[in-house]
């Protein structure tokens, strides 16, 4: 019931947003929201903490930007190329990372993501510390000019809805049920005959792919793939978004992404204090607010 | 390529290696007893370096009371302060998370890292400030027969090795160490025998953090002191820990030293790969020996 209300609310807010808010800012929110939803699929439902999701987000942004800018790909093909790259990368990272469990899993993903970060810094086409700049937005399907902010906005909104829908379907499928069983008790899931590693790997690949979709879209929106998108702090930020909104809830990551991104935006003029504030929110969330905004909301509505 | 160049890089690599060893040792000791990974370990290292820097260069400037804390006092003071902060964090925050999934400990310490890093970025240059307090006795170079090597770096290597192996000896070969190992093996049973396990946990966390602070002071005269110096290091140390496995104290020390060496040599052989070689080695270890070189399958 609550999910339906929230979904209708999200739909209306998303449709009308460009008329009362700055479209580029809302597009940024949508990209981060999709990124956080993809991350939540992994941590919230499969119980796997990846500390390297920036590699998929940032990696896809660079690849999409490069094929559009240097090879003249149209925007949709560019975004898809970036997404496929994230999928392949996700398969490789996932294959390696699921060999270790729990806390090691987080460390392995973090270290692997650092390889992508250094590549983004050192490879000849990435523009080093300046990032990959001047990505043309181009024409969608050959006739819709993405230079028009409204057309661009609705394009991004549709991508977000597709990604969100995919994640929703995944969570509420038998596959999603098995993932949650693995999260609750891995040994038991194994003893029931589920190939735990295959389920984990598939969840990792889906999550990485959609994180890549979000990153590639962001690159087209800003016409720019920045080094920060591949930095470990971005991996930390997406964790924070998911945690603030509510781990393992459908809408939590969306709410969390909006909260954290809006906060960083508002506090932009305070320089490094943003980091201090985000760190403090992190500590407070972990200590006393582990359910997150949506999680608390669900608890209150259920009590009635 | 002459043998001198290779030896010089190997020594410089060993220099980085002793810092990896000290940090991964601290992580391993903490992990053994608390079952958490301290992300803030890098920030503790950074904090140690800043205590040395502030004590030497800024105290007088800020307060104008002619107070100056030199290198040697810092070497004792910084680990105590950093260890004290660690104890405070453990008592007030980490303690509440032991019953939960271990990832919450990692997330909490990640938040603490952001706070510390952000605070120092506000007041200090992100690109680094040199530490001028290197003692005169350790300036200059020594002749090692095959090459000249900076005295201070040699001191840092020897000093760190002594600290690492003393810690190893203490844990593996003393009575107090055996109690600690008992606490790692089975906390409930150890507590039932009348040992104060919560106190052991607190002190261990403080000790691990203190080691990181000590490494920070030692690093200050070599690398420039920057708010970000710990963050980049800690991710490499994570890879070191994954490669070595956290099963043994000696494993943590040896893999730290070895990987520092490998990194140093990569700088001569193929410089662009120097920053990633440890991560690629981690990939190889995960493929062929997933539990880590010294790790035990659980």
Phi, psi of A139 (to 5 degrees): -105, 130
Per-residue pLDDT band at A34 (split at 50, 70, 90):
very high
Residue A215 lies in a domain: yes
pLDDT at A40: 94
Residue B298 lies in a domain: no
pLDDT at A134: 81
CB B51 within 8 A of CB B74: yes
Q: Tell me which chain B residues have a C-beta less than 8 angstroms from the C-beta of A120.
A: none
Residue B189 lies in a domain: yes
Q: Is the pLDDT of residue A145 over 80?
A: no
pLDDT at A72: 84
Total domain count, chain B: 1
Instruction: Nearest chain B residue to A281 by CA: give it.
Output: B111
Tell me the C-alpha distance between B211 and B252, whole Å: 14
CB A39 within 8 A of CB A253: yes
pLDDT at A223: 86
Of B111, B122, B231, the CB nearest to A271: B122
Owning domain of residue B217: 3-288
Residue ranges in chain B whose pLDDT is less than 50: 298
pLDDT at B296: 64
pLDDT at B114: 92
Residue B296 lies in a domain: no
Residue A75 lies in a domain: yes
pLDDT at A59: 94
Q: Which residues pair with B225 in a beta bridge?
A: B129
SS (HEC) of chain A: CHHHHHHHHHHHHHHHHHHHCCHHHHHHHHHHHHHHHHHHHHHHHHCCCCCCCHHHHHHHHHHHHHHHHCCCCCHHHHHHHHHHHHHHHHHHHHHHHCCCCHHHHHHHHHHHHHHHHHHHHHCHHHCHHHCEECCCCCEECCCEECCCHHHHHHHHHHHHHHHHHHHHHHHCCHHHHHHHHHHHCHHHHHHCCCCHHHHHHHHHHHHHHHHHHHHHHHHHHHCEECHHHHCHHHHHHHHHHHHHHCCCCCCHHHHHHHHHHHHHHHCHHHCCHHHHHHHHHHHHHHHHCCCHHHHHHHHHHHHC
Residue A196 lies in a domain: yes
CATH number at residue B279: 1.10.3470
Number of cross-chain residue pairs from A and B with Cβ atoms under 8 Å apart:
122
The residue whose two tokens read 């809805």 is: A161
Q: Alpha carbon of B146 to those of A186, B3, B5, B116: distances in Å?
A: 56, 9, 10, 43
Total domain count, chain A: 1
Residue B271 lies in a domain: yes
Tell me the C-alpha distance between A268 and A25, whole Å: 13
CB B245 within 8 A of CB B296: yes
Residue B233 lies in a domain: yes
Q: Which residues pair with A139 in a beta bridge?
A: A145
Residue A282 lies in a domain: no
Tell me the C-alpha distance between B94 and B132, whole Å: 36
Query: Is B121 in contact with A272 (Cβ distance < 8 A)?
Result: yes
Of B35, B108, B276, the CB nearest to A283: B108
Instruction: Nearest chain B residue to A238 by CA: give it.
Output: B107
pLDDT digits (tens, 9 = 90+) for A243-287: 999 988 999 999 999 999 888 888 877 777 888 999 999 899 999
Mean pLDDT of chain A: 89
Owning domain of residue A64: 24-231
Residue B295 lies in a domain: no
Rounded to a whole number, what is the distance in Å from the CA of A256 to chain B's nearest CA? 16
Residue B64 lies in a domain: yes
pLDDT digits (tens, 9 = 90+) for B165-183: 999 999 889 988 888 888 8
pLDDT digits (tens, 9 = 90+) for A204-247: 999 999 999 999 999 999 988 888 888 998 999 999 999 999 98
Residue A266 lies in a domain: no
Query: Is A239 in contact with B37 (Cβ distance < 8 A)?
Result: no
Residue B297 lies in a domain: no
Q: Of how many residues is chain B composed?
A: 298
């Amino acid at each position: 019931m609550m999910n339906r209300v929230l979904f209708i609310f999200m739909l209306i807010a998303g449709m009308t947003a460009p008329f009362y808010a700055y479209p580029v800012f809302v597009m940024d929110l949508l990209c981060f929201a999709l990124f956080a939803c993809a991350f939540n699929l992994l941590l919230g439902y499969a119980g796997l903490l990846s500390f390297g999701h920036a590699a998929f987000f940032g990696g896809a942004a660079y690849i999409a930007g490069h094929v559009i800018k240097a090879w003249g790909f149209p925007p949709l093909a560019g975004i898809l190329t970036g997404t496929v790259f994230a999928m392949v990368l996700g398969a490789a990272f996932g294959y390696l990372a699921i060999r270790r469990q729990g806390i090691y899993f987080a460390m392995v993903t973090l270290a692997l993501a650092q390889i992508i970060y250094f590549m983004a810094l050192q490879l000849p086409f990435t523009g080093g510390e300046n990032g990959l700049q001047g990505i043309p937005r181009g024409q969608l399907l050959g006739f819709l000019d993405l230079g028009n902010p409204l057309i661009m906005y609705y394009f991004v909104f549709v991508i977000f809805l597709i990604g969100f829908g995919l994640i929703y379907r995944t969570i509420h499928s038998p596959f999603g049920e098995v993932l949650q069983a693995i999260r609750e008790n891995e040994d038991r899931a194994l003893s029931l005959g589920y190939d735990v590693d295959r389920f984990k790997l598939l969840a990792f690949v889906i999550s990485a792919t959609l994180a890549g979709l979000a990153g590639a879209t962001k690159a087209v929106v800003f016409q720019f793939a920045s080094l920060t998108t591949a930095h470990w702090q971005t991996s930390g930020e997406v964790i924070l978004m998911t945690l603030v909104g509510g781990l393992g809830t459908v809408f939590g990551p969306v709410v969390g992404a909006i909260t954290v991104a809006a906060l960083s935006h508002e506090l932009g003029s305070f320089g490094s204090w943003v980091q201090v504030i985000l760190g403090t929110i992190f500590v407070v969330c972990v200590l006393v607010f582990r359910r997150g905004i949506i999680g608390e909301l669900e608890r209150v509505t259920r009590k009635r | 390529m002459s043998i001198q160049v290779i030896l010089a890089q190997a020594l410089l690599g060993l220099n980085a290696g002793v810092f990896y060893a000290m940090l991964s040792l601290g992580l391993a000791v903490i992990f053994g007893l608390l079952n958490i990974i301290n992300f803030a370990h890098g920030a503790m290292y950074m904090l140690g370096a800043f205590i040395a820097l502030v004590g030497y260069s800024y105290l007088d400037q800020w307060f104008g009371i002619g107070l100056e804390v030199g290198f040697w006092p810092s070497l004792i003071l910084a680990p105590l302060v950093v260890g004290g902060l660690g104890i405070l964090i453990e008592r007030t925050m980490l303690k509440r998370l032991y019953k939960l999934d271990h990832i919450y400990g990692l997330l909490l310490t990640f938040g603490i890292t952001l706070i510390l890093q952000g605070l120092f970025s506000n007041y200090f240059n992100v690109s680094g400030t040199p530490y001028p307090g290197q003692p005169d006795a350790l300036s200059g170079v020594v002749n090692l027969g095959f090459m000249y090597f900076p005295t201070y770096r040699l001191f840092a290597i020897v000093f760190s090795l002594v600290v690492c192996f003393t810690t190893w000896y203490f844990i593996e070969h003393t009575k107090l160490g055996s109690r600690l190992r008992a606490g790692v093996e089975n906390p409930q049973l150890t507590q039932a025998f009348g040992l104060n396990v919560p106190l052991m946990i607190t002190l261990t966390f403080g000790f691990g953090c203190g080691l990181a602070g000590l490494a920070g002071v030692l690093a200050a005269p070599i690398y420039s002191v920057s708010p970000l110096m710990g963050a980049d290091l800690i991710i490499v140390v994570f890879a070191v820990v994954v490669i070595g496995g956290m099963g043994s104290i000696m494993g943590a020390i040896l893999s730290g030293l070895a990987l520092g060496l490998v990194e140093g040599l990569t700088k001569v052989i193929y410089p662009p790969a120097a920053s990633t070689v440890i991560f690629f080695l981690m990939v190889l270890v995960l493929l062929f020996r997933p539990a880590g070189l010294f790790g035990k399958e659980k």
